[in-house]
A and B are shown apart, each in its own frame.
Chain A
Amino acid sequence: MTDLLAARSQMAMSLGFHIVFAEIGVAMPLMMVLAEWRWLRTGDRGYLELAHRWAKGVAILFAVGAVSGTVLSFELGLLWPGFMRFAGAIVGVPFSLEGFAFFTEAIFLGVYLYGWERLSARAHLTAGIIVAASGAASAVFVLMVNAWMNTPTGVTMAAGKIVGVDPIAGMLSPAAFPQALHMVLAAYASTGLAVAGVHAFMLRRGATRGFHRRALLVALWVGGPAAVLQPLSGDISARMVARTQPVKLAALEGQFATERGAPLRLGGWPDEEAATTRFALEIPHGLSLLAFHEWNAEVKGLTDVPRADWPPVAPVHVSFQLMVALGSAMMLTALWATWVGWRKREIADQPWLLGALVLVAPFGFIATELGWMVTEIGRQPWVVHGLLRTADAVTPMPGLVVPLTVFTLLYVVLGAVVVALISAMVRDTAAEPAGDARAPFEEDA
């Protein structure tokens, strides 16, 4: 394994690990706040218990997200000093703002998790709302950085170096809005439907129904609308990619030759050597229509640019197709649940719908990972599209396979522990009475 590949793998692994917790950190606070608000509105203590129980899980998940995010901030320098030297002054501005948003989130999460007894109900709920809002703001600022890497604006170049920067223009690059929208919706859809799936699973097993019914409803209220809206935001993103990153679009659609009225390829395996995508079901004019909303629009093919500037085509194309498929399944499940709710039926009484919710529970997180593979692998060989190659950004330190191994082992163990702890918490809901989120340290050590 080359050092460059080791560095890319470590970054991908760190991001892939962190992003799950980041999504949960964006969406769970909203769900806790909704549950607590329902309790305050209706006086139904079942919703308070729900907020308590979710808070226990969030305490763990948020901490893992916070430390894995710290790892990423350091890895920018440990693995990509060339990138930071090149772009620190411009990507640092949205990162600084993200720092403040994260700070606000951490402060009020402390207030929320430990303040059940010390604050009035209204103050406590407000703290939760601040956590939810600053979590979403964090995501938007981080996405501004990634958007700039895809569609860099606000820089003046001379001889391969940045000589003038406009950080505000850099934050508002063409990809910023579509990517931020897509990611925030992904956080709500993935987390909402994953939590809904967990509670659907418990309901199917016949666990204490009142608690899980409430949980399922709140989770669907967050995950459902986001899952239904996500394809629309995907369309906005895809059209932006078509406009600003034709090579990435060609890779994700498996489009090798430039053509007018390009077909949409469902499935298929891109063969880079033969410069063709095999075994795909082609819908005539579909790609031109989707990417440019025009029957005969010209779609640039990969063969328009030198081979050295191609991203690895097959992983990008396949990831993209899978992401769309999983997202569609989530949307359909959410529409099904909406239909059932619309007809005033109990979702918890529909075994088939519950089964579907259990099935799609992991889809959101998987689709998120796939989406990141599309946008990151699809940008290769560039780290900053058109301006800086990934190979020129990597650290000169040799032996990068060692840190890759260390951090992979660390995260594998950490991931396994988190899954075990959260599963145990979920299992407890079947047995034990109301959870107590207030006093995690009261027992003897």
Chain B
Amino acid sequence: MTGRLAGFGLPELFAGIIVAALNVYVLTGGADFGGGVWDLFASGPRRDAQRRLIAQTIGPIWEANHVWLVLVVVLTFTTFPAVFATLGTVLHIPLALMLVGIVLRGTAFVFRGYGSRTLEQRRHWGRLFAMASTFTPLLLGIAIGAVASGAAGAAGAVSAASAAPAPDSTTTFLAVYVAPWWSPFPVAVGILALTLFAMVAAVYLAYETHDEGLREDFRWRALAASAAVFVAAFGALIAAHFDAPLMRAGLVGSAWALPFQLVTGAAAITAIGALWRRRYAIARLAAAAQLSLILWGWALAQFPYVVPPQLTIRNSVAPRITLVIVAWALAAGAVLLIPSLLYLRRTFETKRSR
């Protein structure tokens, strides 16, 4: 551990900032996608009210939340250009599909809210919004899983080595552009991401609403999603055993692994317990902590690699001057943005106090 800390500098700080930005994205934008999942599964006597609550909750904030993903992308290509180039190449297919989902989710949502004049149209756009919300997190998780498993990095080395246009044989194409992400571990991570987003969304919605019936609806949904998270996490762990040696080593073998796993598990159990006892503020914090810990567990398990097994933080980082300038920009941006974000949340988060 001390050896690692001794090597901590600006490059590691930026890697951490990118994970932190991704963390905020999954807690906010991820929950917006999760809201869409619950739109898809809206049911029972309060089906329409559930959909309305979801739309009202994410309406004013989803675009600002979405920018965190843009920030992750921009920070990655600025401070780790080789990482962005490698992932853009090898994960072209899942990332392009994810983009289709992002486009459909966002546009269908505003078309439903602002452009629909009949119930029929509203229902069509709502369905598209809900399906795209479900599809997109799967692909985000798959992309992350492909990085974590080391398959994306290995394929990246192949595609970079064949500098001449790769032989167009189908086998090469499948090996470099499909196999890294279409395998058990990435798919398991995709499912895990989907269940986690749905879980935090249900917890937030139970916390946000002041309607007793809706609160019970989302409480049950949150409990069901928590169970699904357990199953998905277990599945990912088994898949890691065969498919993602670095994750297996990091999450099981290393010194910090056990305490980290215990804390994550404790957060999960706290969330469930708080939901059971209808303590929504605690449930919200615990669910957010659980999702964040899983994300950081991935990041720490593959440290100091960004794209294992070839790109480390140090061998893919941009020149120091770029980092210094972006660090100043981040500091200035934070001064500007954090109060703005709090203002946005405060403006629209008055439901409970009224």
Do the two shown chains form a genuine complex with each other? yes
A residues sitting closer than 8 Å to B (CB atoms) are 56, 59-60, 62-64, 66-71, 73-74, 76-79, 81-82, 84-90, 92-93, 95-100, 102-104, 106-111, 113-115, 118-119, 164-168, 395-399, 403, 406-407, 410, 414, 417, 421, 424-425, 440-445
- Going nearest first, the 10 A-B pairs with the smallest beta carbon separation are A92-B78, A77-B88, A88-B81, A81-B85, A89-B318, A421-B115, A114-B60, A440-B113, A85-B85, A445-B51
Interface contact A165-B321, CB-CB below 8 Å: yes
Q: Say whether B82 faces chain A, with CB atoms less than 8 Å apart.
A: yes
Interface contact B322-A398, CB-CB below 8 Å: no
Q: Which of A63, A119, A165, A395 contacts B347 (CB 8 A)?
A: A119
* B99 CB contacts on chain A under 8 angstroms: 70-71, 74
Bound complex: CA A109 to CA B330 (Å): 21
Bound complex: CA A165 to CA B319 (Å): 7
* B42 CB contacts on chain A under 8 angstroms: 445
Bound complex: CA A396 to CA B115 (Å): 41
Interface contact A414-B107, CB-CB below 8 Å: yes
Q: Take A118-B347, A444-B52 as given contacts and tell me if A81 and B119 are in contact as well, using a CB distance cutoff of 8 Å.
A: no
Interface centre among B55, B95, B110 (most CB of A within 10 A): B110
Interface contact B341-A445, CB-CB below 8 Å: no
The residue on B at minimum CB distance from A166 is B321
Find residues 312-346 in chain B having any chain A CB closer than 8 Å to their own CB: 318-319, 321-322, 325-326, 329-330, 332-333, 336-337, 340-341, 343-344
Q: List 7 A-B contacts (CB under 8 A).
A: A63-B109, A85-B85, A88-B81, A96-B74, A106-B67, A110-B348, A440-B113
Interface contact A84-B84, CB-CB below 8 Å: yes
**Interface segment, one of B158-166, B199-207, B212-220, B230-238:** B158-166
* A424 CB contacts on chain B under 8 angstroms: 115, 117
Shortest CB-to-CB span from B51 to chain A, Å, is 4
Find residues 76-128 in chain B having any chain A CB closer than 8 Å to their own CB: 77-82, 84-89, 92, 95-96, 99-100, 102-104, 106-107, 109-111, 113-115, 117, 119, 122-123, 126
Sample of 20 more A-B contacts, CB < 8 Å, known A77-B84, A109-B63:
A59-B114, A67-B106, A71-B102, A77-B77, A78-B88, A93-B326, A106-B64, A111-B347, A115-B347, A166-B321, A167-B322, A397-B159, A397-B177, A398-B166, A398-B173, A410-B103, A414-B107, A445-B42, A445-B52, A445-B123
Interface contact A107-B92, CB-CB below 8 Å: no
Bound complex: CA A126 to CA B249 (Å): 53
Q: Take A60-B114, A396-B162, A441-B59 as given contacts and tell me if A106 and B66 are in contact as well, using a CB distance cutoff of 8 Å.
A: yes
Interface contact A74-B337, CB-CB below 8 Å: no
Interface contact A104-B85, CB-CB below 8 Å: no
Shortest CB-to-CB span from B181 to chain A, Å, is 13
Interface contact A110-B61, CB-CB below 8 Å: yes
Shortest CB-to-CB span from A382 to chain B, Å, is 19
* A396 CB contacts on chain B under 8 angstroms: 89, 159, 162, 165-166
Bound complex: CA A9 to CA B92 (Å): 17
Shortest CB-to-CB span from B121 to chain A, Å, is 10
Interface contact A421-B111, CB-CB below 8 Å: yes
Q: Which of B60, B102, B114 contacts A110 (CB 8 A)?
A: B60
Q: Take A88-B318, A444-B52 as given contacts and tell me if A67 and B107 are in contact as well, using a CB distance cutoff of 8 Å.
A: yes
Interface contact A60-B326, CB-CB below 8 Å: no
Q: Say whether B48 faces chain A, with CB atoms less than 8 Å apart.
A: yes
* A62 CB contacts on chain B under 8 angstroms: 63
Interface contact A395-B113, CB-CB below 8 Å: no
Q: Say whether B69 faces chain A, with CB atoms less than 8 Å apart.
A: yes
Interface contact B88-A106, CB-CB below 8 Å: no
Interface contact B70-A70, CB-CB below 8 Å: yes
Interface contact A67-B103, CB-CB below 8 Å: yes
Bound complex: CA A99 to CA B173 (Å): 34
Interface contact A63-B106, CB-CB below 8 Å: yes
Q: Take A103-B71, A114-B59, A445-B51 as given contacts and tell me if A60 and B115 are in contact as well, using a CB distance cutoff of 8 Å.
A: yes
Interface centre among A396, A410, A424, A442 (most CB of B within 10 A): A396
Interface contact B60-A397, CB-CB below 8 Å: no
Bound complex: CA A88 to CA B319 (Å): 10
* A98 CB contacts on chain B under 8 angstroms: 74
Q: Which of B74, B84, B110, B340 contacts A59 (CB 8 A)?
A: B110
